[in-house]
Amino acid sequence: MSQVTVVGLGPMGSKMAETLLASGHQVAVWNRTASKAAPLVAKGARQAESAADGELLVVSQISYQAMYDSLGDARLDGKVVVNLSSDTPEALRGAARWVQERGGTLITAGIMVPPPGIGQPGAYTFYSGPKEVLDRHAGTLEALSEVTYVGPDQGLAMMYYQAQLLIFWSSLTSYMHAMAMLRTAGTSPMEFLPFARDLFTQLGSEGPMGYAKILAQEFEAGEYPGGENSLHMQAVGIGHAVAALADAGLETTMPGALKALFERADAEGRGHEGLGTVIESIRKP
């Protein structure tokens, strides 16, 4: 089994260290608040002397600035830094240069599960950077989740990660709006659940409501057929939905932004096309 140092012992980093220990790896741990390492040391981890103590550094912190603060002026010659922290793709590209200037190699990552999902079936992580370097450590990282390589550009893992979160946050916030609106009419969230679950399932299906695939195909082709379901109709419809939320005394910031986006695409002369044409307005703010 391999030796690995986990840097950052918040909920995510602590769970990673526990999972690596349970998988038989030799684990060192480091945190800016040193006392956070004690429970893991009690489970068999070694207290690292510094954040740069080790050849494979798995970093899980609040941002890439935290990595800079933790590593400081340390040399990283021959070391591989696998950073699962969140930041912008451009910040990750800058971090790759920063690590390289100190003699190391950065592998960037975005893990697609909360802490309880680490090491569980179905967990996966997007990785980007030099593939040959990632491949050398894939056996260790697979203890945390499936290793999903997306390309050599160190900013790409974060783009995939944030793309998934945009879908996650916006879909679930819309679901919250829907439940809140129905609640004002006396419908309980559990009564609505079967319909919401069916819609989420259908959107990822191969059927006529399988819009995840439909929109991907339309964007790939650059064609957005409207037919009997035009964007103009959608723009009118979302206006009614926003008005219904307002009538119910609910918050409308996000639905209102969707309404403005749909209406802008319509005003740009693409109202006869399908819903997918909205992506052209997204691309040209």
| Domains of the chain, first to last | 3-152 (3.40.50.720), 160-283 (1.10.1040.10)
Neighbours of 36 (CB within 10 A): 16
Over the stretch 94-120, which tens digit does the pLDDT of each residue have? 999 999 999 999 999 999 999 999 999
Residue 243 has pLDDT above 70, yes or no: yes
Find the range with the poorest average confidence among 1-5, 53-57, 273-277. 1-5
Cα angle for residues 187, 189, 192 (degrees, 5° grid): 75
What's the confidence (pLDDT) of residue 222? 95
Q: What percent of the chain has pLDDT over 70?
A: 100
Token readout for 30 is 């480091």
What's the confidence (pLDDT) of residue 1? 67
C-alpha 116/C-alpha 119 separation (Å) is 8
Nearest to 8 by CA among 197, 40, 254, 284: 40
228 pLDDT tier (thresholds 50, 70, 90)? confident
- Which residues, at least 6 apart from 272, have a Cβ–Cβ distance to it below 8 Å? 226, 230, 231, 232
Any idea which residue has 């349970």 for tokens? 22
Find the range with the poorest average confidence among 169-183, 192-206, 226-240. 226-240
Over the stretch 5-27, which tens digit does the pLDDT of each residue have? 999 999 999 999 999 999 999 99
Nearest to 255 by CA among 267, 239, 266, 268: 239
Over the stretch 134-146, which tens digit does the pLDDT of each residue have? 999 999 999 999 9
Average pLDDT score over residue span 159-166: 96
Give the distance from CA 90 to its chain's centroid: 16
2 pLDDT tier (thresholds 50, 70, 90)? confident
